[in-house]
Amino acid sequence: MDEGSPSGATDLNPDAQAYRDRLTLLSSEVWWRDHQVWLAERGYMLRPRYRPGWVPSWKDTGKRWMHFEDGLQLGHRAVLDATRLSDGETVMLKRWSRATNGLEGPLTMFLASEPAKSHPKNHSTPIYELFDIPGEEFSIFVMPVLDGFNIPPFRTVGEVLECFRQIFEGLQFLHNCHIAHRDLMVYNIMMDSRDMWPEPFHVQAPHMNRSFTAEVKKPFTRTARPPKYHIIDFGLSRQYSPENLNPTETAPEGGDRTVPEFPKGLEPVVHDPFAVDIYCVGNVIQNYILKPYTGCEFLQPLVDAMREPDPQKRLKIEQVVEQYNTIIKSRWWWQLRSRVFLKYRKKSLDERIVDASHHFFNTVGHILTFKSALPRPRK
């Protein structure tokens, strides 16, 4: 359980008081504060909360911490946003342990370096820089700010199809490089949504602008400003020798514990890591597209084949890509531009009429400005 999480804030947790009042740093935040000066010298400025001598700006004001930017705590102990001093751009810093996770760095940099970096099917995490902390086991990845692939919600069938076209393309690239991700859960599928937002949002409070002075304006649709989707976090990934035609693993890893071949007890079970990747992506589509949305039911047979309980019968990535491309080609343009709905959002008749009107005028605008129904990002 991550330090500072709501479920971890108990009286037995030393971070409980810090979590409640925000007046002191969580133990997971102290490391960043202690390295703030060094990071600034490297060209990356942390938020005021993580600078030495920080005093909460709401202290003695009679106001609550949630109205102040420095009341925002660390979202993940190993990842923090920073401002790149050379150009003012917000970036993400990820702390990586060379001692306990020695494969992550080389594998991540393999994918972020040439010739893999320029490959058109590479959808792995872009890396701006990697540097070591002197005298420590830690290194820092510098990455762009990415958002969850399903935030904001999808609006059209074409937007959904383009999202997973890119993810399947990226997974095929990994598998062709003999790389199994081994943790393709929902949090490791992200998108670069920066072009969609009229103004930069705050990383720890996406409903607020970067300066934390007002709520952000509504984003453009994915059709108007197509995002690029990325596969992130290669901490559990493995790259196998090309001569090893049937690599196997024994220890089940990753956040998706529903994989059929994973053991229910403690005994290790030999499994195909590439088959696990296929199941996990299929499970993401099942749980985050087919369950919450209406309009994409035609994907169910493919998803069922990806989630086949018998890994020997499960589709390979080449079969997934081939079938998916066939599905895309079978959709007429008006089907691609048709709406998808979130099932849990119950709206009144007036709200539905307004939404339908917005969709109609948006669609007309997209057609008149030659926006593709399958919104691919600029190269």
Nearest to 81 by CA among 164, 200, 181: 200
Q: Is the pLDDT of residue 69 over 50?
A: yes
Q: Is the pLDDT of residue 3 over 70?
A: no
Q: Are 191 and 147 in contact (CB under 8 A)?
A: yes
Helices (H), the chain: 16-21, 27-34, 36-42, 104-112, 157-176, 273-285, 300-306, 317-330, 333-336, 349-368
- Domain tally for the chain? 2
Query: Tens digits of per-residue pLDDT, 116-144?
Result: 999 999 999 999 999 999 999 999 999 99
Q: Is the pLDDT of residue 180 over 50?
A: yes
Final residue of a domain: which of 123, 144, 165? 144
Query: Tens digits of per-residue pLDDT, 303-350?
Result: 999 999 999 999 999 999 999 999 999 999 999 999 998 887 777 776
Give buried/exposed letters for 358-371 (b at 16+ CB in 10 A, else e).
Answer: ebeebbeebeeeeb
Considering the domain architecture, whether residues 113 and 227 belong to the same structural domain is answered as no
Question: What integer pLDDT is reported at residue 7 of this predicted model?
Answer: 44
Q: Is the pLDDT of residue 361 over 80?
A: no
Considering the domain architecture, whether residues 132 and 220 belong to the same structural domain is answered as no
Separation between Cα atoms, residue 153 and residue 342, nearest integer Å? 8
Separation between Cα atoms, residue 289 and residue 285, nearest integer Å? 5
* Structural domain includes residue 287: yes
**Stretch 181-205: mean pLDDT:** 93
Considering the domain architecture, whether residues 158 and 27 belong to the same structural domain is answered as no
Query: Tens digits of per-residue pLDDT, 148-170?
Result: 999 889 999 999 999 999 999 99
**Stretch 21-40: mean pLDDT:** 92
Considering the domain architecture, whether residues 96 and 177 belong to the same structural domain is answered as no
Separation between Cα atoms, residue 269 and residue 249, nearest integer Å? 8
Query: Tens digits of per-residue pLDDT, 217-255?
Result: 999 999 999 999 999 999 999 999 999 988 998 877 788
* Structural domain includes residue 9: no
* Structural domain includes residue 250: yes
Final residue of a domain: which of 144, 165, 195? 144
Separation between Cα atoms, residue 226 and residue 167, nearest integer Å? 14
Q: Is the pLDDT of residue 5 over 60?
A: no
Q: Is the pLDDT of residue 37 over 80?
A: yes
Q: Are 138 and 97 in contact (CB under 8 A)?
A: yes
Considering the domain architecture, whether residues 136 and 190 belong to the same structural domain is answered as no
**Cα angle, residue 320 at apex, residues 319 and 326 outer, rounded to 5°:** 90
Considering the domain architecture, whether residues 228 and 356 belong to the same structural domain is answered as yes
Final residue of a domain: which of 102, 118, 144? 144
Domain CATH number, residue 224: 1.10.510.10
* Percent of the chain whose predicted confidence (pLDDT) is above 70: 94
Separation between Cα atoms, residue 217 and residue 215, nearest integer Å? 7
Q: How confident is the model at residue 1 (pLDDT cuts 50, 70, 90)?
A: very low
Provide the residue range defining the domain that includes 316: 147-368
Q: Are 204 and 212 in contact (CB under 8 A)?
A: no
Considering the domain architecture, whether residues 151 and 131 belong to the same structural domain is answered as no
Q: Are 167 and 281 in contact (CB under 8 A)?
A: yes
Considering the domain architecture, whether residues 206 and 292 belong to the same structural domain is answered as yes
Q: How confident is the model at residue 14 (pLDDT cuts 50, 70, 90)?
A: low
What DSSP string describes 220-286?
PPTTTS--EEEE---TT-EE--TT-SS--B-S--SS-TT-TTS-SSSS---B-HHHHHHHHHHHHHI
Q: How confident is the model at residue 101 (pLDDT cuts 50, 70, 90)?
A: confident
Between β-strands 189-192 and 179-180, what pairing exists: parallel, antiparallel or unpaired?
unpaired
Considering the domain architecture, whether residues 271 and 314 belong to the same structural domain is answered as yes
Considering the domain architecture, whether residues 49 and 132 belong to the same structural domain is answered as yes
Q: Which residue has the higher pLDDT, 345 or 281?
A: 281
